[in-house]
Structure 1
Amino acid sequence: MESLTFLYVAGVTPGKWIRRWEERLPDVVLEHRLVDDDVAATLAALDAGEAQLAFVRVASGGAAALRDDRFVISLYEEQQAVVAAKGHEIAAFEELSPEDLAGETFFDNSPEGLRALGGLETALEVVASGAGLLVLPMPAARHMNNPEVVARRLNGAEPTEVVLAWRKDADSELIQEFVGIVRGRKADSGRQPSVNREQQESAAKARKTRSAVAGAHGSQKGGAQKGRAGGKAGGGKPGTGKVGGARGSASGRGKPPSSGRKGR
């Protein structure tokens, strides 16, 4: 059975794409794996063939740097959030600015910094202890759903961007089918490879049917022409049943015989 595998980072919610895939291509297994928010490591796994596609998070406008040997499409931007221990004073606000957090201790939110803290989940546990704050994309903060921390919108922070990447040398109809689903194309869109293929097969079938009908019609027409040719050779009109000579004898009749009376 065919399969397709994609990687995704915390905060990306692929559920709706998976459901649509299962509805449209039930015979192709769609596998997925959650990975750390580390662009380099995710792309290395993609290039090694561990998956055919990957959702990665980059700084806003950073998609271009990934396009050397890959196709990359930008999907959406993410608002940033500041995460703190549940009892921290930021819990009293709905949103904050960097100026509101002056003097606070922040942990490094880069992939290297999060790895040093033991990964994102462990990093949130450290934040929950009150040791410092952490800035994360809002979807990622909500994804972890740690009840010991609070997340508040951080205005003025540079947004991040989620992109979908796949290798140029591994592009295929299945990959394009998945890309179309992610981009919101409908099941009957002519841009979907499966629909395009069905349309081509339907057109080929229609051409074959038309050819068969035309061939049968040609045979019938040829038979009719032969019948008309035979009728002409016999001297009669097609379909009259009259044989040659019958009409000729009638046309060859002389004048009626004279009564023998002479004119006065």
Structure 2
Amino acid sequence: MTDSADTPSFRLAYVPGVTPAKWVRIWEERLPGTPLALLQVTPAEALEVLRDGAADAALVRLPVDRTAFSAIPLYTEATVVVVPKDHVITAAEEITLDDLADEVVIHPLDDVLGWEQPPGEPAFERPATTADAIELVAADIGVLVVPQSLARLHHRRDLTYRTVVDAPQSGVALSWPEGATTDLVEDFIGIVRGRTVNSTRGRAQQQPPAAERKGERKPRKSAASSGGKGGGGKAGGARRGTGGGKPRRRS
């Protein structure tokens, strides 16, 4: 019996708001013998678990330190403002930062938008987490500007959100330690980049040369192309108008 410790596995960390389910499903279809373990971490912890070797790769929010980590940008999220359902902002489908000038904008310590200067009026204090900030919005203390996935993650029936068209946006990337691009990391890169199972760039999907494939026959040369016996050395038979037949009369 094979010891479970000898079974290779792939450890993937991911930050709140990122949903790895689609990629995990493809992994399980393509590499059923290699378990994929998920580790949810905070944005601040994401790169630390890579440094410490607790994860092989991570779905993180940009930016990352490119001197220490490799990264493949995957997508950029829309930014929204979370407000109570009866807030005046809900009258519009989209707003700008100027529309928040008179609002108390809550700025949690785990903010991922990297503001140079947050919009609106600052709240009395900064809550520790986005989840805490959502509670303050529900208590009508202020509004919260976050990536759309975080608004959905912390959905409440008494709250809604609207797109802020000119706010900073958050990019999501696959990252792993520089110089630690293992075969399993390559496999996951192929999945997030949408490579098919037959892609020539996929490590596990590469096929041996045709001559080495079991049971495959080499193509047989035609008699005409070989120029040997049986072909008569005459491609397509005798030339028209010479030998073998009567010459045509001129009219």
What is the TM-score of this pair, normalised by structure 1?
0.69
Matched, 1:54 2:58: yes
Contact 2:78 2:170 in 1 (8 A): yes
- Deviation at residue 164 of structure 1 after TM alignment: 1.1
Corresponding position of 1:75: 74
Residues in 1 aligned to 2:46 and 2:141: alpha-carbon distance in whole angstroms: 29
* Deviation (angstroms), 1:74: 1.0
Q: Does 1:191 align with 2:218?
A: no
2:22 paired with 1:12 = no
Checking the alignment, whether the CA contact within 8 Å between 1:107 and 1:113 is kept in structure 2 is no
Q: 2:127 aligns with which of 113, 117, 125?
A: 117
Q: Give distance in 2, aligned partners of 1:154 and 1:112.
A: 16
Please tell me whether the aligned partners of residues 67 and 178 of structure 2 are also in contact (alpha carbons under 8 angstroms). no
1:97 is the counterpart of 2:96: yes
Match of 1:25 among 31, 40, 46: 31
Give the paired residue count.
Answer: 200
Shift in Å at residue 109 of structure 1?
4.2
After superposition, the Cα gap between the structure-2 partners of 1:113 and 1:123, relative to the gap in structure 1 and judged at 3 Å, is farther
Tell me the residue number matched to 1:157: 167
> Share of identical aligned residues, percent?
37
* Letter paired with 1:181: I
Task: Summarize deviations over 1:110-162 as a string: whole Å, max 9, x none.
Answer: 52799x52422222112111111111011221122222321110011122211
1:162-216, CA deviations, whole angstroms, 9 ceiling, x for partnerless residues?
A: 11110123221111000110011111101111012xx13x768449999xxxxxx
| Structure with greater Cα Rg | 1
Q: Deviations over 1:75-127 (max 9, x none)?
A: 1111110112233222222111111122111111452799x524222221121
Q: Which runs of 5+ in 1 are unaligned?
A: 211-264
C-alpha distance in 1, partners of 2:68/2:92?
A: 45
2:39 aligned partner, one-letter code: R
Aligned counterpart, 1:228: none
Extract unaligned runs of 5+ from structure 2. Answer: 1-6, 114-125, 218-251
Going from structure 1 to structure 2, the CA distance change for 1:113 and 1:18 (only over 3 Å counts) comes to: closer
Task: Write the distance in 2 (CA, Å) between the matches of 1:206 and 1:15.
Answer: 35
Aligned equivalent of 1:36: 42
Q: Equivalents in 1 of 2:94, 2:72: separation in Å?
A: 30
1:77–1:162 Cα contact (<8 Å) kept = yes
Distance of 2:101 and 2:80 partners within structure 1? 15
Task: State the alpha-carbon separation in 2 of the partners of residues 208 and 113 from structure 1.
Answer: 56
Distance 1:172 1:204, change over 3 A: farther
* Residues 36 and 119 in structure 1, CA contact (< 8 A), matched pair in contact too: no
Report if aligned partners of 2:104, 2:143 keep a CA contact under 8 Å in 1: yes
Contact 2:58 2:174 in 1 (8 A): yes
Q: How does 1:115-194 map to 2 (within 5 A)?
A: 117-194=127-204
The residue identity in structure 2 corresponding to 1:106 is V
- Taking the aligned partners of 2:165 and 2:112, their CA distance within structure 1 comes to 22
RMSD: 2.6
